Amino acid sequence: MKIIVTGCKGQLGAEIMKQLREGRSEIGPIPEKLLNATVIAADLPELDISNYKMVDDFIRRQRPDVIINCAAYTNVDGCEVNHDAAFKANAIGPRNLAQAAEKTGARLVHVSTDYVFSGRENGGVEQDEATLPDPISAYGSTKLMGERYVEQFCHRHFIVRTAWLYSYYGKNFVKTIVNAGKKFGKLEVVNDQRGNPTNAVDLAHEILQLCVTHEYGLYHCTGEGVCSWYDFASEIIRLSGVDATVAPCTSEEYKAKHPESADRPKWSALDNRMLRCTVGNQVRPWQEALACFFAHWDGDNGMKN
């Protein structure tokens, strides 16, 4: 089997590459079909997924069985001021991959986000795959367009929405909170936006379970359990042992101090219903996955030996 991983240098891409290399994750083994896979890592500048001809030539030449698209413009605030760049990466890129995958018969796994939802219809019910999207930010709208292009142009697709992702690799909320706690000793974090913290280990594990099947469709894949950013930050500080305090604030208070920030969904908790009903949901409770992260994280950009 031949697999292309786009965005291989990012949080999720690096974790997927690691699991393919090692043959297992913290949760368990990867599928047997992937144990001797030929893995092609792709990222900028070698592959710009927003360039149709570059993608078409690359996929036609490599002829993969599976394409896992982890490439995206994920800076939520940056998407507001660089809307064209966000659209190219988050919408046109997936379209190009979908068309190339359809031509060559490859399966396409495309990673999307909870930000396709408005977060206004709270109600305390986790949103499953049947919930209609309604994004309120440039990031959310461009990612939704990417989903639609994938659905339209590639029959063999898995669209996997995740949320609040963190990893041993790259920048993320967990590392930001740890570093800010060390630097300032006192943090303010919003307490009225709720969702699901997700360890990239869990997401990568589920993607690799899915991609050898024909269980095509739309999936939610997030850490089990719901919390606020304040709850998440408080647990991060507790597990890290950093001498810092975390105080709650409202979204409005945060926006007043950071007027350039994009609107975020106040309720974007997802339910992994499709996973449960098909290949099985092995994603861990978010507290357990976070504790495992701190047990293995080297404090920088990788894992302890």
Quick check: pTM over 0.75?
A: yes
pLDDT given at position 259: 86
253 phi, psi to nearest 5 deg: -65, -40
What number of other Cβ atoms are within 10 A of residue 179's Cβ?
13
Active site residue 139: yes
252 phi, psi to nearest 5 deg: -65, -40
Task: Dump pLDDT digits (tens) for 186-211.
Answer: 999 999 999 999 999 999 999 999 99
Please tell me the distance from the alpha carbon of residue 270 to that of residue 259, in angstroms, as a whole number.
27
210 phi, psi to nearest 5 deg: -70, -40
Which residues neighbour 131 within 8 Å (Cβ) at sequence distance 6 or greater?
117
Measured in whole angstroms, the distance separating CA 135 from the mean position of its chain's CA atoms is 16
Low-confidence ranges of the chain (pLDDT < 70): 121-123
**Burial of 113 by CB count in 10 Å (0-12 exposed, 13-18 middle, 19+ buried)?**
buried
pLDDT given at position 1: 95
- What three-state secondary structure class fits 74? coil
pLDDT given at position 260: 84
What number of other Cβ atoms are within 10 A of residue 72's Cβ?
25
Which residues pair with residue 219 across a beta bridge?
Answer: 160
Catalytic residue, chosen from 52, 73, 115, 139, is 139
What number of other Cβ atoms are within 10 A of residue 51's Cβ?
15
- What three-state secondary structure class fits 128? coil
pLDDT given at position 122: 59
